[in-house]
Amino acid sequence: MSGNTVTCLLRATLASAALLMSGCYPPPPQYPYTPLVTERRSSLHEQLLQLLPEHERKLPAAQAEARWLADTAYKAAAAIARVNDSNFPGWAGNALVNAYLQDRGLCWHYQHDMYRELRRRKLSYFRIGCCVRDHTELTEHNCVYIAADGEFWPQAMVLDAWMWNGRLKVDPATELDQDDWKDLPEICDMLAGTYYEGHTYPTEHWFSVRCDDGRYLISSSNLARSSAQYSRMYHNIQKGRQVHPNSPASY
């Protein structure tokens, strides 16, 4: 093998490693404000407006609501990964959580957390939903979606904060395989009691925590409060009050 070939292979290996590592660590606070993500936020804003009836799309209130949802989706996804301290994306993160090497990082963790963040504002033109791919299978994957108020799945935009470790992935639900993807209203029903529209739970709050025996329990339950993961959540909340004292959101 020639020296040039070895050099090319080495460069390709280093480039591949750099690409892989770039998706491992949580996005830094400035990530949502980079030119690329700013453009993506604007694109999602426009996509959300297209979900509305034509006579609502130019209403200032509807445009403001779509703008808030688009901006919050990207900012919250990155912030959730930082709070979760999830250092590997997707299935790699799942493996670490299931091996008890990492507390948070499953797709439904991100689903619950994204639902929490997108329910901070009372919505008049849109609604937040939950969806799942391959329900009850080993490849099950959970996300949230945004739909126009009064509309049903799959007329929605699916938001995936898990796949790229806080770097939001967005897909029109109509372009997904409807044999694999389903609406999941029962999860919304479960979460809505805690994360009602306009709630003030902080970004560091987790709907459920893993107890020391491996069970997941609602974090407000007495049994959950004795777990190490609850202690970590409590520590995160206390730290968050110092870092962002005037807002429940950390972004």
pLDDT digits (tens, 9 = 90+) for 58-92: 999 999 999 999 999 999 999 999 999 888 889 99
* Cα–Cα distance, 207 to 14 (Å, whole number): 40
pLDDT of residue 23: 55
Domain boundaries, the chain: 24-197, 200-251
Q: Please compute the mean of the pLDDT values over residues 195-217 and round it to a whole number.
A: 97
pLDDT in tens, 207-239: 999 999 999 999 999 999 999 999 999 999 999
Question: How far is CA 178 from each of CA 153, 171, 173, rounded to the nearest angstrom?
Answer: 10, 13, 8
Among 177, 196, 180, CA closest to 188: 196
Q: H or E segment at 139? A: none
The pLDDT of residue 158: 98
CB-CB contact of 27 with 167 (8 Å): yes
Question: Which burial class, exposed, middle or buried, applies to 245 when counting CB atoms under 10 A from its CB (0-12, 13-18, 19+)?
Answer: exposed
Q: Which amino acid is at 179?
A: D
Displacement of CA 69 from its chain's centroid (Å): 13
Rg (C-alpha) for the chain, rounded Å, is: 19
Q: Of all helices (H) and strands (E), which one includes residue 112?
A: helix 107-118
